[in-house]
Structure 1
Amino acid sequence: MERFEGNGRYHNVIRHNDLLFFSGQTATEAGNDLRGQTQMTLAKIDHLLEKYGSDRANILHADVYLREQEDVKVFNEVWDQWVPKGKEPTRACMIAKLGREPILVEIVIIAAVVGSKEK
C-alpha cells in the first residue's frame, strides 16, 4: 500500500494493488457557484487521476455530496458532460452538511489504475 499527499490527518490518495482511493475533493476557490465548484472539482480529479496513473474512464465509483437537493440538476448537467459515455461509474449522491460553509459539492472517487488487469 502506498499513501500520498498526507497532512497528518488523512492522505489525499492511497494506492492499494491496482486501485486508487481519493479523499473528498472540493473547490471553494471557484466561488459560491455550484456549477463553477463542480467544474473545478472535476478538473482537480482529472489532475489527480493522471498524476497517479488513471483517467476518467477507469473511475469505478463516485460518492457525491451536495449541500442542497435543488443542486442535483445542475450537478448532473456538469457531470454528464464530464464522464465518458459508456464508462459511467457506480455513484451515490447524498445531500449533506459539508465540512465548511463555502463547500457546495464534494466528490470522493475510487479508480482503477490504467492498464491494470482485472482479476
Structure 2
Amino acid sequence: MIQDFSSIIDRFGIGSRGSSAVVHQGTGYFAVTPQAPYDGNLSTAEQTRQLLAKAEARLAEIGSAKQGLIFCAIILADMDGYAEMNEVWDAWVSGMAPPARACFEARLANPNLKVEMIMVCAAASTKAE
C-alpha cells in the first residue's frame, strides 16, 4: 500500500527526477547550483555568488532566509577553489550565526560546474493550503 504524504510534505518545483525543495515539519531541504547554463569560464567565486543568490531566492520561496540555515554541505569540483569560495561565503554569512557546514571535493554532474551546495534550514512553507 502506497501512503499519501502530501498533507505533511510540501514539495516545490516538482520535476520528473526530484523537487527543487522539500519542507517537512518546519525543516527545508534543497540543493543549489550556479545559474544555468553553467559557465565554466566563471571563477569559483563568481559561481559561488550566483549560487548564493539562487539559494536566497529558494530560501524565501520556502519561508526561510539565510539566518534560518541549519547545515550546508559545500561540494567543490576542485579544492583549488576553496579559498575563493570561502571569501564569498564569509561575506555572505557575515553578521549572522553561520550554519554548521562541511566542504569536500567531488566530481560534479556537469564539467562546467565548480561548486554546488546542499542546504538544510528551518522553514515555514508558504504554499497555499
- Using the size of structure 1 for normalisation, the TM-score is 0.88
1:83 CA drift (Å): 1.1
Partner of 2:33: 25
Provide, for residues 69-95 of structure 1, a one-character-per-residue CA deviation record: whole Å limited to 9, x for no partner. Answer: 111000000000001434100001010
Q: Distance in 1 between matches of 2:33 and 2:57?
A: 11
Q: Distance in 2 between matches of 1:28 and 1:68?
A: 19
Partner of 1:82: 92
1:28 CA drift (Å): 4.7
The CA RMSD over aligned residues, in Å, is 1.5
Aligned length: 114
SS in 1 for 2:13: strand
Gaps of 5+ in 2: 1-8, 125-129
Provide, for residues 16-69 of structure 1, a one-character-per-residue CA deviation record: whole Å limited to 9, x for no partner. Answer: 010100124333546322111100000000011111110011100001000111
Partner of 2:12: 4
- Using the size of structure 2 for normalisation, the TM-score is 0.82
Letter in 2 for 1:11: S
SS in 2 for 1:23: strand
Higher helix share: 1
Q: Distance in 1 between matches of 2:31 and 2:20?
A: 5
Partner of 2:67: 57
